[in-house]
Structure 1
């Protein structure tokens, strides 16, 4: 079964206000087995444009990633995020590569 991922590109407009979202999302991601793979590390944009934060969260499968995003728990956390940021999030199925 292929893993599922959230890829989030975010611009935070109020860092202090955004902290409430960060605190709230921890329990949600733990509940659904989400694991941060990328959380705004050093980067260089070599083509195109990018928002100020890049986050990738891994889930055991695509359906779990979607279920987490659509859950009432995440919707409550999202309400804490929205006044303090703009962003783009995609939920995507992972690639396992070609069989050997």
Structure 2
């Protein structure tokens, strides 16, 4: 079964408020086995206009990644992120080729 990934590119507009989101999302990620592969850090734009922050989270399966996003635990965390960042989040199925 292929793994699932959250890939997010965000611009944080309220760093202090965003910290509350980061603390709260740990509950959902722990419950659903989310593991950070990329969490900010140095990046070099190669094409297009990226956001200032890139995050990649790995889950045991695509279904688990979706379940985490739609969970009550993540809904509570997401509410803390709203209005404190702008960006894109995509949930993708990994490749097992």
TM class by shorter-chain length? Answer: over 0.9
Q: Compute the TM-score of the two structures, normalised by the length of structure 1.
A: 0.94
The TM-score normalised by the length of structure 2 is 0.97
Counterpart in the other structure of 2:43: 43
Work out the number of aligned pairs and report it. 97
CA RMSD of aligned residues (A): 0.6
36-45 or 53-62, which deviates more: 36-45
Question: How far off its partner does 1:60 sit?
Answer: 0.1
Instruction: State which structure, 1 or 2, has the greater radius of gyration over its C-alpha atoms.
Output: 1
SS at match of 2:82: helix
Task: Measure the CA separation in 1 of the matches of 2:27 and 2:46.
Answer: 35
Partner of 2:70: 70
Match of 1:96 in 2: 96
* CA distance in structure 1 between the aligned counterparts of 2:78 and 2:41, rounded to whole angstroms: 22
Deviation string for 1:3-30 (max 9, x for gaps)?
0000001010010110000000011100
- Where 1:56 maps in the other structure, the secondary structure is strand
Structure 2 unaligned blocks of 5 or more: none
Q: What is the CA–CA distance in structure 2 between the aligned matches of 1:89 and 1:35, rounded to whole Å?
A: 16
Gaps of 5+ in 1: none
